[in-house]
C-alpha cells in the first residue's frame, strides 16, 4: 500500500504563507522523498497535494496540519488548548487560542475550512485510513513529547527559542538544536534529501521566517512518519471540540494527567494512546 505523508505548517490566514513537505511510504515501508519543503499558501498547498496524488496515485494520504481543524468556541481557548497550555507554559512557551471570533483564521471565511473540505474534513484519528485524512498536530508539543527540551532550572527543561521572527528571544544555538534533532530523525529513516535541507538551514547565520516554516513542516511530517510506522501516538482533546496528535510520551501523559486532575477532567477521556489503522487496499 502506497501512502502519501504530508507535513503542513499552515498559513493560518489567506494573506500569509506557510510550508509543505511530503514523502511517499511504499509497499515495502521504505520512504521516497518528494523534494524539499515548499513555501505555500493554502491554495498552493492544495495544488501541490493534489498534484502529488495525481502523479503517484497513493491509496491513502495523511496530512499532519499545524493549525486547529475543529473550532466551535466563539471566545477564549478550545478545551484541548487549555489542557496543553500547562506543559507548554511550564517550559516558557505559549499556546495561541483558537476561536471563531478570530474571523480571518476561524470565522466562516477562514482559509482552513475550504482546505479541510477539499480533503475530507477534520479526520477521526481512530478510524482506519483508506482515503485522505487531515490530522491536527502541534510542533511545540511534539518537541515536548520527544524530549527535545534544553537544560533549565525547571525539571522539565525549556522549549527552544528558535523563531527568527522574534529577534529579542531568538537563539541561534537553539535553532541548530532543533535542526539537528529533526535532521537526525529524517536521516534515521533514509530521508537524506530532507536531512540535507535541514542541515543547510541549520548552517544559515541568519535564518528567516520561511526557514522556520520549512523546519516546522518537517516536524509535522515527523508526526506523520510516526503514524505511518505504526508507533504509539497520543491524541489529546476530543473530536467534538478539537484535538491534537503528537508522538506518545509517558512523561507528557503524567503531566497532563495532573492537569486533568486540577481541572476536573477524566484523564481517560482527554488523553488516548493509539496506533493509526490502515485499511487494506
Segment 114-167, tens digit of pLDDT: 999 999 999 999 999 989 999 999 999 999 999 999 999 888 899 999 999 999
Q: Reduced to 3 states, what is the DSSP secondary structure of residue 171? A: coil
Phi/psi of residue 228, each to 5°?
-65, -30
Reading the block at residue 63, the C-alpha cell is 496530512
pLDDT over 70 (residue 62): yes
Segment 210-253, tens digit of pLDDT: 999 999 999 999 999 999 999 999 999 999 999 999 999 999 99
Task: Label residue 175 by pLDDT band (50, 70, 90).
Answer: very high
- Of all helices (H) and strands (E), which one includes residue 60? strand 60-65
- Neighbouring C-beta atoms of residue 114, cutoff 10 Å: 14
Percent of the chain with pLDDT over 90: 89
Region 88-106: what's the mean pLDDT? 92
How are the residues of the chain apportioned to helix, strand and coil, as percentages rounded to the nearest 5?
A: 40, 20, 40
pLDDT over 80 (residue 58): yes
Task: Label residue 280 by pLDDT band (50, 70, 90).
Answer: low
Global confidence as pTM: 0.96
Amino acid at each position: 500500500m502506497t501512502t502519501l505523508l504530508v507535513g503542513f505548517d499552515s498559513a493560518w490566514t489567506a494573506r500569509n504563507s506557510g510550508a509543505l513537505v511530503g514523502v511517499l511510504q511504499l509497499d515495502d515501508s521504505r520512504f521516497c522523498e518528494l523534494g524539499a519543503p515548499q513555501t505555500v499558501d493554502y491554495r498552493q498547498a492544495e495544488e501541490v497535494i493534489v498534484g502529488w496524488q495525481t502523479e503517484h496515485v497513493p491509496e491513502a494520504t495523511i496530512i499532519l496540519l499545524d493549525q486547529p481543524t475543529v473550532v466551535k468556541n466563539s471566545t477564549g481557548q478550545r478545551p484541548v488548548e487549555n489542557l496543553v497550555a500547562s506543559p507548554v507554559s511550564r517550559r516558557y512557551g505559549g499556546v495561541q487560542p483558537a476561536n471563531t471570533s478570530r474571523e480571518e483564521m476561524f470565522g466562516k471565511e477562514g482559509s482552513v475550512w475550504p482546505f479541510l473540505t477539499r480533503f475530507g474534513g477534520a479526520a477521526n484519528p481512530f478510524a482506519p485510513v483508506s482515503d485522505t485524512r487531515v490530522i491536527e498536530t502541534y510542533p511545540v508539543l511534539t518537541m515536548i513529547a520527544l524530549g527535545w527540551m534544553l537544560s533549565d532550572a525547571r525539571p522539565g527543561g525549556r522549549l527552544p527559542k528558535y523563531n527568527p521572527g522574534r529577534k529579542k528571544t531568538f537563539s541561534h544555538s537553539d535553532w541548530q538544536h532543533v535542526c539537528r534533532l529533526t535532521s537526525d530523525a529524517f536521516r534515521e529513516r533514509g530521508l537524506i534529501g530532507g536531512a540535507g535541507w535541514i542541515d543547510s538551514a541549520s548552517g544559515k547565520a541568519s535564518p528567516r521566517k520561511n526557514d522556520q516554516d520549512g523546519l516546522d513542516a518537517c516536524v509535522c511530517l515527523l508526526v506523520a512518519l510516526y503514524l505511518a510506522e505504526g508507533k504509539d501516538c497520543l491524541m489529546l482533546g476530543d473530536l467534538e471540540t478539537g484535538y491534537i496528535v503528537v508522538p506518545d510520551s509517558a512523561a507528557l501523559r503524567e503531566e497532563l494527567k495532573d492537569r486533568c486532575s486540577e481541572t476536573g477532567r477524566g484523564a481517560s477521556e482527554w488523553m488516548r494512546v493509539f496506533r493509526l489503522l490502515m485499511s487494506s487496499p
